[in-house]
Chains A and B, each alone.
Chain A
Amino acid sequence: MNCWLEPAVLAGNQNQVSDLLSRVEPLLTKVERPSRYIDSEYGAIHREAAYRCALVYPDVYEIGIANQALAILYERINCLPDCAAERAYLPWVDMIEAMRTADVPLFSLETLRPLIEFDIVGITLQYELTYANILEVLDLACIPVRASERTAKHPIVVGGGPCAYNPEPMAAFFDAFVIGEAEEAIGELITMHKAALAQGESRENVLVALATIPGVYVPEVHGLHRLTPEIGPLDRQVAADPGLRIQKRVAPVEVLGRPSGRRIVPYMDAVHDRVTVEIMRGCTRGCRFCQAGMVYRPVRERDQDSIVSEAVEAIRCTGYDEVSLTSLSTTDHSQIDQIIRRLTRIFKDSGTSISLPSLRVDAEAVRQSLLTAMSGRSTGLTLAPEAGTQRMRDAINKNVTEESLLAAVERAFIGGKRRVKLYFMIGLPFETDEDIAGIGELVAKVLAKARASTPPHQRGSVIIAVSVSVLVSKAHTPFQWIGQISRSEIVRRQQILRDSMPRKGVDLSWHDADVSTLEAALARGDAGMSKIIERAWANGALFDTWSERFSLTPWIEAFEHHGTSLDECAQRDFEREELLPWSHIFSGVSNEYLWSEWIRCGETLTTPDCTFAACTACGVCSYEGAGWSLSVAGSRDGLR
């Protein structure tokens, strides 16, 4: 992207704030952490334009500001002619109460403009447990929560993000969804919306126009409540003609990245409070539980020069002292060693560190990379073996061996690390009690290896942090047909886990069974789920991602009110031939491939990564007319 804004429109220009300022400022003295609401961050863009777009993260500021997707869209939209993008986040409960008492609607940070005054409101669907928050956002913004109740005076509400791959549970609340990578579609969507508004088109005609954009799903047009009888309902039609599916958008490798280096620098401590540079999109390792690994295909690696230059520029522009090289599997990048070596050299003696999330442990290069990265300031080391036994790891296609894990830990602790975090999952298909006990046994071996690789006088500080989640089957994965284990079974397996875990030197945490069950029910829900979500929200469900706020009570009542149960929805299995709630959404990976992967799971057969071996026929690269292709910057031979 060549465009960037002139300095005059960057933070500091406060001339355009609405008259809400005088009503918002007094509230800030009454709430916790008022810096969530004050804007003025370095790098924020204040732009006057006829067409205004609000980008909303449905959680508090410190969570939302770290979201890369919204940051990319913010940048892209603010480069479009006569368009301005502004940000909004869901205020914390104290501010929500203060705003409702003072009759202050939800506003954007940049101009304190009420969301209802925007032309378009984009809300990211990152996680199912934020669904109630989305309804709170709309209600606090005085926008009717149900799309069918909106009129011409309301903005178009558009959703996107990973949860949009099964849009039906939230379809009643959105006017449109962008399926796939929104930076590829947002320009077309805005252009078409602007044109329709300029021509004075009705809201219905605007929606019909948006439905013609590839990758845009408009429930009112495509769905059950269709405006155009000749088109829908799409989910029934795709059973006969898969070509009618809404096909995801994929950004070509050339447009990935944010070369200007500019970022919004928050004042308050945010999660992932560092510069992030996306080095690659997609992953073809083929972990069978991983939705991101399926829906973000094909792999697209950015070239090392552009990555290094963006990282250096971003550190210079922001003042951060840490850069994170992000992707689904960073150490799979064919030039990762060169990238780390170059950045380590450039940032030497500057106090700037490099961090690598999402590390795999099954490649020699990983171990080299870790060692190199350790020459800088200490950063965390997180590894994800996911399962405790080789049989289970093969079943989920997590091609990690115990030897490679122990070798990685040995290198890390010899290099100076004293803490490593390991991610595991339970509730996997075909899992036995021995597999769960195997997690404890593997952790014990890791602990022993870590201690043996640490000088004797420092062994007391060795910690293995173990985080164990529960499998939540997601749409568009090989596990999409299978339901979750029951809550009582989750608790029983967690007990086995606790009993098998070494007591000393291990910091064990696990996901709450109730939270995982709710997530499972929502993740594979159908259009009927919208009533349950609305009811739960009306019952008081809010900030379900926050453990101190989470309560299952409003949800259980909502499920029962609508004649079903949470457990039934979470545990539901789908038949092979059944029309899935997300059948009309096409991620590029064929259903045949997903089913074959499910069969191979049962046979504990692994499937290789197509960037290292032959094509596995997932269907993405060969999909007719899409033009999607694998793009590897160098050679991955040395990373195997």
Chain B
Amino acid sequence: MASGEFRLRLCCGKRNKLRFLSHLEYAHAIERGIRRSGVEFCLTQGYNPRMKLAFGPALPVGTGGMREYVDLWLRRYVPTDRVLNVVQSSLAQDLSPSEAKYVHMRDPSLSAQCTVGVYEVLLTGGGATEQTVCTALNNLIDEGSVTIKQKGRSKVYDLTTCLPKEIVVRQDSQDSVRVGLSIRMGSQGSLRPEALIVEALHRQDCSAAVESVMRLDTLIESKTGLLKRPI
């Protein structure tokens, strides 16, 4: 086996009850799982050496993730299926990785590369229908920008740049509606999908509640606007 430094990208999850982990808790859980797996990882330089590990954009507490990316630097080349196998058995099922791929050492960091999040929001109650949700969101998008209040502070988001793709709304059941939307993430913080939807519904006097929020994917956007997965 060759030795040196090898950058392995893992596609992990943050599902079910574990969506309630904070980003820091999530990062610790992944790190400890990798330690348990016995994979030979690289350490950072410095007085307190840590596992060399990098994460993609953070998820808020309560938001689940289907494809969350983690870069891990290994001391030796190990076939991806073997790494996957040992890491999967060392992590809770709701966090465990589904895919792995070696990436170039000089690739930009995950947080710099991944600029678009694809979300699915489930709405229930309040008489929400596909029609009302669709209308509410379109009306808001037509305004061009939205002001979201969070933790006592207001922030204005330009919807023409925040939303790179069309929003998809479909009736899930008689009492629930699913909204699919992609949001461009910036260095200044990204718009939360549920905040956008709640604001839109509020303006339509619709009291539907957000049941769950799931980030389905995190994507890399090319200069030409093409979206692709980090793996």
Asked whether A and B interact, the reply is: yes
Residues of A at under 8 Å CB distance from B?
Answer: 11-12, 25, 28-29, 33-35, 37-40, 42, 265, 267-269, 316-321, 349, 351, 377-378
Contacting residues, chain B, for A39 (C-beta < 8 A):
17
Task: Mark each residue of chain B from 181 to 198: 1 if its CB lies under 8 Å from any CB of chain A, else 0.
Answer: 000000000000000000
Q: How far is the CA of A267 from the CA of B27 in the complex (A)?
A: 9
Q: How far is the CA of A265 from the CA of B51 in the complex (A)?
A: 18
Q: Name the one of A35, A42, A318 contacting B20, with C-beta atoms under 8 angstroms.
A: A35
Q: How far is the CA of A408 from the CA of B184 in the complex (A)?
A: 56
Stretch with Cβ within 8 A of A (4 or more), from B29-37, B113-121, B160-168: B29-37
Q: Give residues 39-65 of B contacting A (CB, 8 Å).
A: 43, 47-51, 61-62
Query: Is A42 within 8 A of B92, CB to CB?
Result: yes
Contacting residues, chain B, for A351 (C-beta < 8 A):
43, 49-51
Q: How far is the CA of A317 from the CA of B48 in the complex (A)?
A: 22
Query: Is B48 within 8 A of A35, CB to CB?
Result: no
Query: Is B92 within 8 A of A11, CB to CB?
Result: yes
- Closest 6 A/B residue pairs (Cβ): A319-B32, A319-B35, A34-B20, A319-B36, A38-B17, A267-B25
Q: How far is the CB of B211 from chain A (nearest CB, A)?
A: 9
Query: Is B17 within 8 A of A319, CB to CB?
Result: no
Q: How far is the CA of A25 from the CA of B18 in the complex (A)?
A: 11
Contacting residues, chain B, for A269 (C-beta < 8 A):
24-25, 28
Query: Is A267 within 8 A of B61, CB to CB?
Result: no
Q: How far is the CB of B5 from chain A (nearest CB, A)?
A: 15
Q: Can you show 13 pairs from A to B with CB atoms below 8 A apart?
A: A28-B20, A29-B62, A34-B61, A38-B17, A39-B17, A40-B17, A40-B18, A42-B33, A267-B28, A269-B25, A318-B36, A319-B34, A321-B50
Contacting residues, chain A, for B34 (C-beta < 8 A):
319
Q: How far is the CA of A35 from the CA of B61 in the complex (A)?
A: 9
Supposing A35-B22, A35-B25, A351-B43 touch, asked if A377 and B48 sit within 8 A by C-beta, the answer is yes
Q: How far is the CA of A598 from the CA of B62 in the complex (A)?
A: 57
CB-CB nearest in chain B for A13: B93
Q: How far is the CA of A480 from the CA of B51 in the complex (A)?
A: 49
Q: How far is the CA of A426 from the CA of B51 in the complex (A)?
A: 43
Q: How far is the CA of A11 from the CA of B18 in the complex (A)?
A: 13
Query: Is B47 within 8 A of A378, CB to CB?
Result: yes
CB-CB nearest in chain A for B211: A26
Q: How far is the CA of A494 from the CA of B94 in the complex (A)?
A: 52
Contacting residues, chain B, for A25 (C-beta < 8 A):
17
Q: How far is the CB of A268 from chain B (nearest CB, A)?
A: 5
Contacting residues, chain A, for B31 (C-beta < 8 A):
319
Q: How far is the CA of A269 from the CA of B29 in the complex (A)?
A: 10
Query: Is B90 within 8 A of A319, CB to CB?
Result: yes
Q: How far is the CA of A12 from the CA of B93 in the complex (A)?
A: 7
Any A CB within 8 A of the CB of B21: yes
Q: How far is the CB of A313 from chain B (nearest CB, A)?
A: 12
Contacting residues, chain A, for B25 (C-beta < 8 A):
35, 267-269
Query: Is B32 within 8 A of A265, CB to CB?
Result: yes
Task: Mark each residue of chain B from 62 to 94: 1 if its CB lies under 8 Å from any CB of chain A, else 0.
Answer: 100000000000000000000000000011111
Contacting residues, chain A, for B93 (C-beta < 8 A):
12
Q: How far is the CB of B35 from chain A (nearest CB, A)?
A: 4
Q: How far is the CB of B102 from chain A (nearest CB, A)?
A: 23
Q: How far is the CB of A267 from chain B (nearest CB, A)?
A: 5
Q: How far is the CB of B126 from chain A (nearest CB, A)?
A: 15
Query: Is B33 within 8 A of A40, CB to CB?
Result: no
Q: How far is the CA of A35 from the CA of B47 in the complex (A)?
A: 31
Contacting residues, chain B, for A28 (C-beta < 8 A):
20, 62
Q: How far is the CB of A286 from chain B (nearest CB, A)?
A: 38
Q: How far is the CB of A514 from chain B (nearest CB, A)?
A: 33
Contacting residues, chain B, for A12 (C-beta < 8 A):
92-93
Q: How far is the CB of A29 from chain B (nearest CB, A)?
A: 5
Contacting residues, chain A, for B50 (C-beta < 8 A):
321, 351
Contacting residues, chain A, for B38 (C-beta < 8 A):
316
CB-CB nearest in chain A for B44: A351
Interface centre among B31, B34, B49, B91 (most CB of A within 10 A): B49
Q: How far is the CA of A385 from the CA of B133 in the complex (A)?
A: 68
Q: Give residues 146-166 of B contacting A (CB, 8 Å).
A: none
Q: How far is the CB of B51 from chain A (nearest CB, A)?
A: 7
Q: How far is the CA of A25 from the CA of B29 in the complex (A)?
A: 21
Contacting residues, chain A, for B22 (C-beta < 8 A):
33, 35, 268
Query: Is B32 within 8 A of A320, CB to CB?
Result: yes
Q: How far is the CB of B132 from chain A (nearest CB, A)?
A: 23
Contacting residues, chain A, for B90 (C-beta < 8 A):
42, 319
Contacting residues, chain A, for B29 (C-beta < 8 A):
42, 267
